[in-house]
Amino acid sequence: MKQHSLRPLFTSEEIQQKTRALARKISADYRDGHIIVIGVLKGSFVFLADIIRHLTLETTIDFVQISSYGSFRHSTGSCTLKKDVGVDIAGRDVLVVEDIIDTGETLHFLLRELRKRNPASLKVCSLVDKPSSRTKIIPVDYFGFTVGDNFIVGFGLDYDERYRSLPGIYALED
């Protein structure tokens, strides 16, 4: 298997600091309410686990899995729902948690599907925003870091199922 060069972008400490700040803002925005947090698998699971531990409100957790990358470094543009939400979101406040918003294709697909289920509110929280790659206009209510055109890995983000367990975020370089 080919080894890649990894250039550090954000340390574990920087990520934890940003995660705590995002959780404070989300908790303040929802006050003492109850939200359904939907993580987009697989990449969001590390970030989601950290952010919910810092929320000061009641949460219900669920996951969806959408395929759009395969083993490529860019989205194929075609989304497939591999695992759907298992809870009823009608009339509920929903927060979608993503690892990265890149082209926006995956999230555009997911938000369209979730809106059909009539949630009371639907917001997006992403650890990383990559607006330079955006092909769809996506509302990002909460985000931690903005990156340029780097392909990034670590902290749940992967390249062909590799590098998810890295504690920081790194630019993947050949």
**Minimal CA–CA distance to 61: which of 69, 70, 72, 52?**
52
CATH number at residue 96: 3.40.50.2020
In a domain, 36, yes or no: yes
Number of domain units in the chain:
1
Q: Average pLDDT of each block of 10 consecutive residues along the chain (174 residues)? A: 87 98 97 93 96 96 83 62 93 97 93 97 97 91 95 95 96 88
The upper half-sphere exposure of residue 56, i.e. CA atoms within 13 Å in the direction of its Cβ, equals 12
Domain assignment of residue 96, yes or no: yes
17 domain residue, yes or no = yes
**5 found inside a domain:** no
Question: Does residue 3 lie within any of the structural domains?
Answer: no
What global pTM score does this model have? 0.91
- Looking at residue 93, its pLDDT comes to 97
Which is catalytic among the residues 102, 129, 158, 174? 102
Q: How far apart are CA 12 and CA 56, in angstroms?
A: 22
Distance (Å, whole) CA 12 – CA 77: 31
The answer to whether residue 91 is domain-embedded is: yes
Q: How high is the pLDDT of residue 142? A: 98
Residue range of the domain that includes 129? 11-173
Q: Which two tokens stand for residue 75?
A: 């989205």
Q: Is 102 a catalytic residue?
A: yes
